[in-house]
Every structure is written in C-alpha cells, then in structure tokens.
A and B are shown apart, each in its own frame.
Chain A
C-alpha cells in the first residue's frame, strides 16, 4: 500500500504536469482559486485518520489506486433509455445530465423552466454570466480547512450551475443525474454552484449512478447560496456500486428568513463520505438537515455535518438515521456551532442507529459547541436493536417474524423519508427503501450493467 506522502506527491505531480490543461478553458476566477487551493492541498494533503474530522474514515485505500483523470470533456455515449430507467418515473421533473463530473454536451434545452432560470455547465456559466458566477464561485467552500475540498478546487473544471433569479418559483423539481460511465478506472472531480436569489424557490434532486463496473473516486463540491426569503430543497440519492468511492462536500450559506431542507439518502456505495456545512449567516433562518443510510456488505458511510449559527434567532433541525448490516461500518459526526452573540438560537440534533449484525460497526459523535447563553440546544444519539416489544406486538397479530422486522425497519427509516417535500419523490423513495431493506436491490437497481456486486 502506498503511503500518504506518495499519494500527495502524485497529486502534486498531476497538478504541475496538467497545469496547462487545467487552466485552459477555465475562467480567471476559477484559475485564481485553483492556484490558491493547490497551495492549501500541498499543506493539508489527503486527510488521514490522524485528522480528527476523518477519525472514522480511512481514505488511503480509496486514493491508493491508479485512477485516470479527465482534464477535458470527453464525449460519453449515453443510452437515454438507461437513464430513464434510473429516473424516478412518476416524477415530473426538469432533467439535466452530468457525465463523469462534466455537464453532458447533448443535454436538451430545458424549455419548461421559468424565465431567467439558468441551468448549464460551470465552464459555460463562467463565460456567459461572469457577474453572477464571479460573485459566488469559491466564496463558500473552504479549501483551506479540508484537503479533499482543496483537491477539488485545484482540479475542478466543470460541474453544474443553477441560477434562480429574484422572485422566481421553479415549480417542477430540477433533477440532476450524475452518471459515472467510463471504460477505465476514473477520478471524477465535479464542482457545482447553485445560486438562489431573493424570494425565489427551487427544489433539486441529485441522483448519483455508476453505469460501468470500474472503480470510481468521485470528489464533488457543491456551493449553494440561498438569499433572503428564498426556499430551497436539496435531495441527494446515493446509489452506486461497491467499488465506488463518493466524497461529497456541500457548503450552504443562508441569508435572512431563508428556509433550506436537505435530505441525503445513501442506499448503496462502497465508501461514502458526506461533508455537509451550513452557515446561517443572517437572522431568522431555518435549516433542516436530514439523512439516512442503509448499509450492508462491507460498505462504509460517514456523514460529517457542521451547522454554524453565526447570527441570532435561527432554528436548525438535524436528524440522521442508519441501519447497518453485515460488515458495514458507519460514522456520524454532527457539530452544532453557536457563535458568541448568536442568541435565541434553537438547534436540535439527533442520530439513531440500528445494528443488525455483530460485524457491523457504528461510531457516532454528536457535538455541541456553544458560546452564547440564551439558546436551546440538544442532541441525542442512540444505538440499539429493534424493539422486542414492538416485534412481539406484531407477531401476536399473526405477522411472521421476517415481515415484522421488515415493517419495523421500514418504519424506522420512514421518519426521514417523511421529511421530503416532493410528494412523488417521497413515494418513490419509500418504495426504493422498502425494496432495499428486503434485499431486492442488491445494487443500484437502475444499473443496466450486470456487474457482480
């Protein structure tokens, strides 16, 4: 196994050798951030377990692999039927496609979008809408604090750009399908920027899918700015094969009276690490952060969240639930930060876990860092098995044990699904989770490639 220094050096070499290609086609501001972030990466490197924030996730095996890197958009053949299989069928959405972290060249024009809404690739946005792009790009993510965010910023070329102008309500959810499809092992770097202006409303559904059986390392960073009075929903559905590694960092900044709901559902994936940062940067914000993970085999999931209450009178709710089976391992690390003078803050956090096997492992770390006195904060964490009384109740009514366990597990997970604010998606996820818990989808159910996982 390569040691961390070799891995870091390989990336440094990659950056130095590919500099020309990296700079090409990117806007000035992207390249400015790129150089700075590379210096950060040289200082930080890929985070190891010595880093307190990565205590429970060992990234070295994920990075210790000769991946290919695309520094240019490569045309990928996508069979649209394949994608529609993956699509949530009853759902009426605006769909956009990204392949290997790049905006798909043949995306159809989204005609049904309200006037002024922009959905395009990041490279394109940097050229066509520099005012919007430059005002927000690189303003929320913090490459100086996390090696993988620095690496993303240094290598980022493209991703998705969404802009919702003042007062515009996008009724239909925008569905983003991230496809990983390649004929070789790939490191995909994706950089997204979503800007939701004052009084605007939008819902985004992100589905991650791997279409080929190659080993993937997907390192994506999403920056989101939600302006005053805006309402924004982000649903992330992670459903990839066991050979893939997902590193997903989201940075959300909220302005006064804004309302944000995120729900991250991890159904399948080899190693998943979600970094979720929320900055409540003005008064009277509401943030709801939910997540669910259903892991078996040797999968690993690590949800790291940080809700930063910088201003008074904000409310945040955070709830993560997980079911761990086989030899799966999971970690949850939640931090609520209440800064000095952020009075009248209300922040709640909880994490519940079901352990179904003795080989499964869960590490949870709910944290409160509070520097103001007039606050209401609480957190709770539980790890346990199914309630035997509830099981008995069901069995006494003639339900066999397997089905009873199934029902209880489903009810356990449903608490998170319930929070979804798109009715059709809620039903679809319910169905997916039910199937997933029954073991009927042993892999991404939409994956057209019959890989052995």
Chain B
C-alpha cells in the first residue's frame, strides 16, 4: 500500500476509531419496549403479513419462552434484558417507493456516507444492493435488471407479500425456529431482510449485496435472509454491517438460510463491522447470528467467506449441511478482535452425502485485551462414504493481554472418512519484523504488512470490492494495538 494512502488511513483513525459511528437524524416509526404476544401481533400487522406468518411467529415465541440462554461459549457478557429492547423500528415512509427520488434524502445521505452505491449513478459498480436500516429494508437497487432473468432480489417483507408460496416452502427449512435460543427469538420478531431466488440454470450477472445498519437507539435488529439457488445456478452474495457509537449494548440476532440445489453454487461473503464498543469496552453490538446453508443436490457448492472486525461480542457459526452426493463447502474466516472485543466463531460441516468435501481455513487475530475463539464441528454421519475434510485454524496474538482459543469438535462415524485438523498459535516473529525494519519499514507498517499477508488466504476468496474494504478494515481495527 502506498505510503500516502497508509498515512490517510492512520489520519482517519486518530480522529475517530470507528468512522461509521454517526447517527442519522430521521423520523422513525418505533414501537414501545418489551416483548409479548401483542408486540408480535403488532409487528406482523405493521408488515401486513398473511396469517401463516403470524402463526409462525407466535409458535416461535411460545417455544422461545421455554428456552434458556446458552452458556457454553467462551464469552463474558452481561445478562440481556429482553424486555428492555425495542423490537421494531423503521424509517418512516409514506408510500411505496417507485424511484430513488422518493427516498428520504437524509437516508440517501447516510448510505452515501457509508459508501453504499444506492444511487443508480453508481451503475458502474455493478452491485445490486438491498439496504436495511434498523428493522426495515429501505431500497433495493437493480431489481428490474435482475427480474428480466427471473431472479428475485427484494426485501423479505416484499417477498412475503409477492411470493408467499416460496416463503412458505423455504422459511425455516434450514434453520428451524426451535433450532436455538436466538433463532427462536429471531423467528418470533424478525422484521425484514433480503430474499434471493435464482431460477434454474441462471448465472446471476452481478454481485448481490445487503447492507445492514442499526440507527435507532435501544433497538435490536433481527433480520432474516433467505437465498434459494435452483439447479445449475450461481450467485455471489455480500453482506456488510455498521452501527452508530452508543454506550449501551445493542442486540443483533439474525438468521441466514441458504438452499443450494444440484450443481448450483452460492458464495456468501460477509464484512461485519458493527460498532465494537470503545477502548474501555463500553457499548458495542452483540452479534448473535445463526447462518446455515444446505447443499441439497448433487455437486452443490457453498462457500462462506467472512471478515469479522466489529461487534463487542461475535457469536456465530456459519454452517453447511452437505446432503447431496459430491457436494462441497468451504469456509474462510478472518476474525480480528481488539480492546475488549470477544469473538466465538467458527463453522459446522455436517457430512451426510457420499464423497462430500469441506475445507475450513480460519485465521484469528487478537490484540488489546480481547478474546478470540475458534469453535468448529466436523461431523461425518455413519452412512457417509468417502468424506474429506481439511481444517486449519491459526491464531496470531498481538500483545500479552489477549487470548486465542481453539475448540474444534470432530465427530467421525464412518471409516472411509479422512479428517484432518491443524491449529497453531503464535505471535508475530521478531525476525519477520526485524527483516522489515532492516528494509526501512517501520514496525507499525511491518505489522500491518504481516497481518495482511496472514489474512490474504481468506481475503483472496472475497469479491474484489469487498476485498479492498476488508483489507482497510484490518488496518483500522488493529490500529494502536501494537508497537
């Protein structure tokens, strides 16, 4: 990276640690705090949902009430008071939007600040975006272009209205509502999200992207993404997140479901940059997300790539169920924690179909007083012949007050399986830094260089636009943690 650019980044950083920390002053439709059946009915009626959705929500809520918060993660966190959260907040909009001109300029400004190409001018960027602020989808771009090929890309609420048959068929088919505590909560109160449907044999011509933003105070964000890739189709999907700086913790509990049919391929990339809290560990987002995909047909392929730099606490395991014979899945992750951030993240690969393959590459970087854990499961069921897995989890420690932990689970029930797991933990070699110093690179820059090289394997798997952003994020997140 050029020196000038590097300086610019440094400059930005010294001014503000988290450049997305502003609040948009916009009229918001907010309901009262607390959670009960009436709130759920209210959310459902505000979204004008059909009866089956309300039933689904209420069933999930009743089940959630019987559950307790899981305790097994390697995390320290305060109790969450679920009655102290606002479950629905949406920017006020009068009528259905026909063109971009109808969107509140304040809102547009927000997304411009975030660098999201909502505006059609940014046609060249070639990314279709669904922007979600607080609980509501604000605007989806390029819908028409996509519709020509039969691709459906819209907000979840719109899909509920316009494609109820698809929703009814696939909703909760990968993540059942009783799956876990946060999945049940999300199923009960989820407000919006993205819906993607790629018909048979269609290759999606552009990257699809969702941008999530929490704006209102005291709210929780509960969105839901559903991606269906029919046979022989292909889609690459990106997701990005930011939130304002606030002193209290905010809850984000999302669900992502992906159905990949025979010979189809889905790439799902995440750059997660929720507000991580300040240097003393105050505030920040609790990011408790359930992400799961199923490779249903033969030779289906699902790839997860994630760069996790934000959130006070990240707790998520994007997983793949490899059901179709010959299906494969890859998981690439870079998780960076600094200050008082905590991350407990990893993946689950469930091998059911014969000759299924999975690869896990996880890179953890901890700095400051943070804790970074990799937790992953590789399961080979009894009747799954010829499964193959390779996992590699490396941790890099920058500082003597941080922690790096690895908790892999390997459950193997078939003798033809070949499963390997490797993990290492180390700090940046003094000889590597010395080598850079000798060539006139300052220690700070040298560390940036080494960290980037270390994460390269994962970042290379991301789409271009994201890779650049991810690289910048790495620099910013680690600023001030070394030296």
Bound pair: A and B? yes
Residues of chain A having any CB pair with chain B under 8 Å: 52, 340-341, 343, 353, 355-385
Inside 8 A of A370's CB, which chain B residues have their CB? 395, 397, 403-405, 425
Residues from 397 to 447 in B contacting A, C-beta threshold 8 Å: 397-427
Query: With A and B bound together, what is the CA distance between A366 and B421 in angstroms?
Result: 9
A381–B397 CB distance below 8 A: no
A357–B408 CB distance below 8 A: no
Query: With A and B bound together, what is the CA distance between A357 and B414 in angstroms?
Result: 7
A52 CB, nearest partner CB in chain B, Å: 6
Say which residue of A363, A375, A382, A385 sits within 8 Å of B420 (CB atoms). A382
Say which residue of B72, B74, B422 sits within 8 Å of A380 (CB atoms). B422
Known pairs A370-B404, A373-B399; A361 contacts B413 (CB<8 A): yes
1/0 per residue B176-203: CB within 8 Å of A? 0000000000000000000000000000
Count of residues in B whose CB is under 8 Å from the partner chain: 35
Query: With A and B bound together, what is the CA distance between A370 and B411 in angstroms?
Result: 24
Inside 8 A of B409's CB, which chain A residues have their CB? 363-365
Closest A residue to B384 by CB, please name it: A358
A381–B421 CB distance below 8 A: yes
| B382 CB within 8 Å of chain A | yes
Nearest first, the 9 A-B pairs at minimum CB distance are A355-B415, A373-B397, A371-B403, A368-B406, A383-B412, A377-B425, A381-B421, A364-B410, A383-B419
Closest A residue to B414 by CB, please name it: A358
Query: With A and B bound together, what is the CA distance between A375 and B423 in angstroms?
Result: 13
Give 18 A-B pairs besides A353-B412, A356-B415, A366-B423 with Cβ atoms closer than 8 angstroms. Answer: A358-B415, A358-B416, A364-B410, A367-B407, A368-B395, A368-B406, A370-B395, A370-B425, A371-B403, A373-B399, A374-B400, A375-B425, A375-B427, A378-B425, A379-B406, A381-B408, A382-B419, A385-B418
Query: With A and B bound together, what is the CA distance between A381 and B392 in angstroms?
Result: 11
Inside 8 A of A362's CB, which chain B residues have their CB? 410-412
Query: With A and B bound together, what is the CA distance between A53 and B23 in angstroms?
Result: 45
A52–B404 CB distance below 8 A: no
Query: With A and B bound together, what is the CA distance between A362 and B426 in angstroms?
Result: 29
A366–B408 CB distance below 8 A: yes
A203 CB, nearest partner CB in chain B, Å: 33
Interface core residue of B400, B401, B420, B421 (most chain A CB under 10 Å): B421
Known pairs A341-B400, A369-B403, A380-B423; A385 contacts B408 (CB<8 A): no
A368–B425 CB distance below 8 A: yes
B412–A377 CB distance below 8 A: no
Query: With A and B bound together, what is the CA distance between A385 and B412 in angstroms?
Result: 12
B415–A365 CB distance below 8 A: no
Interface of B is mostly: strand
A92 CB, nearest partner CB in chain B, Å: 42
Closest B residue to A347 by CB, please name it: B425
Inside 8 A of B408's CB, which chain A residues have their CB? 365-367, 381
A357–B403 CB distance below 8 A: no
Say which residue of B405, B407, B423, B427 sits within 8 Å of A365 (CB atoms). B407
Residues from 249 to 282 in B contacting A, C-beta threshold 8 Å: none
Closest B residue to A339 by CB, please name it: B403
Interface core residue of A343, A370, A371, A380 (most chain B CB under 10 Å): A370
B426–A358 CB distance below 8 A: no
Inside 8 A of A357's CB, which chain B residues have their CB? 415
Query: With A and B bound together, what is the CA distance between A22 and B200 in angstroms?
Result: 74
B412–A372 CB distance below 8 A: no
Known pairs A340-B401, A373-B400, A384-B419; A363 contacts B412 (CB<8 A): yes
Say which residue of B72, B404, B413 sits within 8 Å of A368 (CB atoms). B404
Inside 8 A of A341's CB, which chain B residues have their CB? 400
Known pairs A357-B415, A384-B417; A368 contacts B405 (CB<8 A): yes
CB<8 Å pairs between A and B, sample of 8 = A358-B382, A363-B412, A366-B423, A368-B406, A368-B423, A372-B397, A375-B425, A382-B420
Closest A residue to B425 by CB, please name it: A377
Query: With A and B bound together, what is the CA distance between A290 and B397 in angstroms?
Result: 28
Inside 8 A of B403's CB, which chain A residues have their CB? 369-371
A379–B407 CB distance below 8 A: no
Query: With A and B bound together, what is the CA distance between A340 and B382 in angstroms?
Result: 41
Query: With A and B bound together, what is the CA distance between A66 and B466 in angstroms?
Result: 64
